[in-house]
Amino acid sequence: MLPDFDLELLWRAWIDLRSFSVAGANAALYDDPQKRALLKPEALWEMERGPRAVGHGYLCRRKVRSSWYEVLRRLYERYDFVVLPAAQVFPFDAELDWPHAVGGRSMDTYHRWMQTVVGATMAGLPALSVPAGFGPNGLPAGLQIIGPTQSDKALLQIGHAYDQASGHARCAALCWADSTL
């Protein structure tokens, strides 16, 4: 069941708030021409759009965040947890800067391939990633379990129960151990 919310609006609010935060936190790097020259293009893009992206719309982005939280709060009146994929792609080659397309859809920013994690972040809710198995090339996939406000302990308990039942973490550890011999 998908929440009744404009997820593209949520995405745009997240990317703007993130850019604003990254720009503010890294202003000293950006303001120093020698350090700025060492930054990758994606970091520069984020730092340059931060102040412009939010500007007078900062309050609007915060309202989107609050509205999203309220939608999830109501969802938790009916469900204990929300379970989503932890990423939209399997792990990719380290030589690739980021996946530029997922499922034939072009990614408009370097973060879009991980859009599925935005929901928990924007709501400020506790989330836990767990292994879900392996894809056709033997690479791992994961799930994120998102709990309601202040459900950290219950979230850890369900994560542990899931791990005990699935055995994926043990399998992953054994597979990794075997590959290092």
Q: In Å, how far are 1, 47, 87, 89, 128 from 145, measured between CA atoms?
A: 15, 31, 12, 17, 5
Instruction: Report the pLDDT value the prediction gives residue 92, as an integer from 0 to 100.
Output: 86
Average pLDDT, the chain: 89
Give the whole-number percent of the chain exceeding pLDDT 70: 91
What backbone phi and psi angles, to 5 degrees, belong to 87? Answer: -160, 165
* pLDDT digits 0-9 by tens, 61-103: 999 999 999 999 999 999 999 999 998 888 888 898 889 999 8
Instruction: Report the pLDDT value the prediction gives residue 58, as an integer from 0 to 100.
Output: 85
Is the pLDDT at 175 greater than 70, yes or no? no
* pLDDT digits 0-9 by tens, 12-23: 999 999 999 999
Which pTM does this prediction carry?
A: 0.83
